[in-house]
Amino acid sequence: MKFILPTLIALVIAVPLPSFAVSSMEERIDKTIDILEQYGKAQGDSIPREVFHNAKGLVTMWIIKAGFIVAGEGGDGLVVVRQGKKWSHPTAISAAGAGVGFQAGGSSQDYVLLLNTEEAVKQFSQKGNYTSSAEVEGTAGPVGRELSAGVATVNAPVYTYSFTKGLFGGVSLSGLGYGSADDTNENFYGERLTPREILDGKVKKTPEAVKKLWKVLENLDNKPKIEGKTPTKDKKN
């Protein structure tokens, strides 16, 4: 029995974190479209319309947590940024992290990060691996379909949201490291490009999946303001 715990820890450490979730770009786009369409349908607890419209970039991620004693996190996602009134081609990213705690089993969570500053966009446009920083970790974003009067639209480089059961809640997301998924980008676009080159539109082709993503983003940008009181989820008395 004394060999069981060391063996379990060794097995967890030996498994590369990115293996928790490795998706093609097409799968990442489909997942992102699903998340964004859910946001478009949300009426109460959601990302405020003004916050979404003023964001300079957007990141979607799905993180899988798994492990026993030694916990690991890994996930996939993509980044798009505004280019004037249009959105950029997406570039793929991966996330990974580790911690120690008494837990077993696994869970998966979807996230939306809104990039509010040029520095935040720069952080998520890097090639290679980069660790969490003030610009990357973000702050729990405000919630409510419309911002209340007098509330500032932006007070942090990155706003982070967690999506679950039809609701978007502001959360603090820290302890993760990120990296560009260069192989995923190359397989999708058919050429080796840096994340910055992709976001700047220096690609030779625009796959149909990208056009579908652009359409969803355009619809969200054109979503009208809700008149009257912002709906909220039902609360039990």
The domain ranges of the chain are 20-221
- Averaged over 66-76, what is the pLDDT? 57
Using an 8 Å Cβ cutoff, are 200 and 148 in contact? Answer: no
Sign, Cα dihedral of 177, 180, 183, 185: positive
Higher pLDDT, 147 or 224: 224
Q: What are phi and psi of 174, to 5 degrees?
A: -140, 170
Mean pLDDT of 112-133: 84
Cβ-based neighbours of 46, under 8 Å, separated by 6 or more: 39, 143, 144, 145, 167, 168
Q: How many CB atoms lie within 10 A of CB 207?
A: 17
pTM for this prediction: 0.77
Structure tokens at 187: 């397989």
Sign of CA dihedral 126, 129, 133, 136: positive
Closest CA to 178 of 104, 75, 48: 75
pLDDT tens for each residue of 152-204: 566 788 888 887 765 667 776 666 778 899 999 999 999 999 999 999 999 99
Q: How confident is the model at residue 160, as a pLDDT?
A: 86
Residue of higher predicted confidence among 43 and 217: 217
Ranges 58-72, 81-95, 220-234, most confident: 81-95
Between the two ends of the chain, the Cα-to-Cα distance in Å is 51
Q: 22-62 pLDDT, tens per residue?
A: 689 999 999 999 999 888 887 666 788 888 989 999 999 88
